[in-house]
Structure 1
Amino acid sequence: MAESPGLGEQALNKAAEVGLSSQLDEVENLDVNIKTDPLKLVQGQIDTVSIEGEGLVMQKDLRVEEMDMQIQSVAINPLSVAFGKIELTKPTVGSARVVLNEADINRAFNSDYVRSQLQNQKIQVNGETRTINPQNVDFHLPGEGKVALNANILLVETGETHPVAFEAVPRVSANGKTVSLENVEYGKSEEISPELTKALVDQTSELLNLSNFDLEGMTLQVNSLKVEPGKLILQAQAHVEQIPSAEN
């Protein structure tokens, strides 16, 4: 029979769940599980903090299918426990796994935020400056380590619509904070402007940047990015200065 959490653990679990939820636009399921014993808690020690979430909508309309985070050996201010808070006395490091699926990345691409980012861009087409307006952005994860994107781009000044398509291999930067697209292969459609494809490549990289998944007091440094058919899986190191908890 599983041990039921003590009153101190329960209060901290709830405080952390409320605090984390307050930083997210939407939450389908969020479960925080803090393990320690009462004696350690009084001394300001927590053995493990486990955070499991599903359907978390972060900033920029980016939905995360799954997020699992494990943090060990957490030192806290024992007095903060009385107020239902988890106040770390020193930073700690944990591990995190983030799963993004194709449909959610597509949703983010077609969100008002990303569309506004792209619409602000001016590009050169045949020597003329044009304003772009993306239509029907379609993002795919075909497997084989690649991402693929198809879009129709409206050139506002002329009313012309041009198809743009590319496949590329996402790579995590050495600092674990940004994703760049390498080995870009263009689609069969006639390439009207290298700047046009570059704008979409850059926006794809920006959307996958790991700072989008940071929460207050918690940042991720990605160790690996795996592309599977229909989903992206990120394995990361979590740097934790504070675990958000409920405000009293």
Structure 2
Amino acid sequence: MFGGFVGFGNNKGGDWGENLINTVASNTIRHLFTRSESVEVSVKCNPSSKLLQGTIDSFKMNGRGLVIKKQFRAEEMSFETDAVAIDFSSAVKGKISLKQPTQAIALVRLSEADINKSFEADLVRKRLENLTPEGLTEISGGEPVSFTDVEVQLLPENKVKLLAKASWQDTTVPASLTCTLDIAKRRRVKFKDLKFETEDIDPEIRDISQQLTLALGEILNEMVDLDRFNLDGVKLRLNRLNTEGKMLLFSGYAQIERVPQTG
């Protein structure tokens, strides 16, 4: 009777069911982001009658201009699942509830401009300012050190160049390094093969600049951890990263225990 009521006995009914899931999923996903330029969702189910049992053949999402936690922007983010089991009755009520955990293949594209903008975010700044580890305070005469004006330049073959300023009291020293990006434990972005770049630094301060540059590299290696950006019920893991022009591409997967309702 329910199948006849919603029209699942014909193609029009199948379209109705897929359109319902598309609409509810799109609205749910949009609410995970502070802002989004576009969010497109595609649900496949054949035959459409499987929707009544909550079975979906595949679920795809592609979003552009997504802002996470108010301050972190991704140029593009997409994911695709295999078969997914959902509670269809929850979709009728405007929510997506999983019957069991699932995994999704994920791809994230970050622009060089967005990476640099992220260094202005509060979550990042508090890990770069007013630092007092022993190695730094020895350089600064006991004063807290702050790294500001961070600029990242993406280079071929997963390399980056990074410029910054180290400051304490009335002293400011530039820092400059190149390194290779890598992945550790599928959740951390590591800055490997750190190399101090002397050509950007006045010879009179190169020694102190080198010490500060290497200290900055160590700080960055402990800072970029995906677990700090996980959504409720979702864990992100990385398989690869690549630099392509002015874009940084991450590919991996998302382990989804439940569909989060807010970001």
**TMscore range, shorter length:** 0.7 to 0.9
Residue identity over aligned pairs, in percent, reads: 31
Quote the Cα distance in structure 1 between the aligned partners of 2:69 and 2:236: 15
1:1-248 superposed matches below 5 A: 6-36=15-45, 37-59=47-69, 61-122=71-132, 123-126=136-139, 128-156=141-169, 159-173=170-184, 175-188=185-198, 189=201, 190-192=206-208, 196-205=212-221, 208-244=224-260
Structure 1: unaligned runs, 5 residues or longer:
none
Q: Deviations over 1:128-161 (max 9, x none)?
A: 22222333221110223211110122213xx011
Q: What secondary structure sits across from 1:117 in the alignment?
A: coil
Q: Deviations over 1:212-235 (max 9, x none)?
A: 553332222111111223111111
CA distance 1:78–1:201, shift in 2 (3 Å): same
Structure 2: unaligned runs, 5 residues or longer:
1-10
How far apart are 1:187 and its partner, in Å? 1.6
CA distance 1:202–1:56, shift in 2 (3 Å): farther
Q: Which structure dedicates a bigger proportion of its chain to helix?
A: 2
Quote the RMSD (CA, aligned, Å): 2.4
Whether the 8 Å contact between 1:138 and 1:149 is mirrored in structure 2 is yes
Give the residue type in structure 1 aligned to 2:145: I
Q: What secondary structure sits across from 1:131 in the alignment?
A: coil
Quote the Cα distance in structure 2 between the aligned partners of 1:152 and 1:53: 34
4+ residue segments displaced more than 6 Å: none
How far apart are 1:208 and its partner, in Å? 4.0
Quote the Cα distance in structure 1 between the aligned partners of 2:88 and 2:123: 41
TM-score scaled to structure 1, two decimals? Answer: 0.87
Q: What secondary structure sits across from 1:121 in the alignment?
A: coil
Whether the 8 Å contact between 1:167 and 1:185 is mirrored in structure 2 is yes
Whether the 8 Å contact between 1:169 and 1:184 is mirrored in structure 2 is yes
How far apart are 1:115 and its partner, in Å? 2.3
Q: Which structure dedicates a bigger proportion of its chain to strand?
A: 1
Q: What secondary structure sits across from 1:26 in the alignment?
A: coil
CA distance 1:64–1:206, shift in 2 (3 Å): farther
CA distance 1:208–1:59, shift in 2 (3 Å): farther
Q: Which stretch has the larger CA shift, 138-147 or 236-245?
A: 236-245
TM-score scaled to structure 2, two decimals? Answer: 0.82
How far apart are 1:195 and its partner, in Å? 6.2
CA distance 1:57–1:205, shift in 2 (3 Å): farther
Q: Deviations over 1:32-67 (max 9, x none)?
A: 111214310111201111010111111372211111
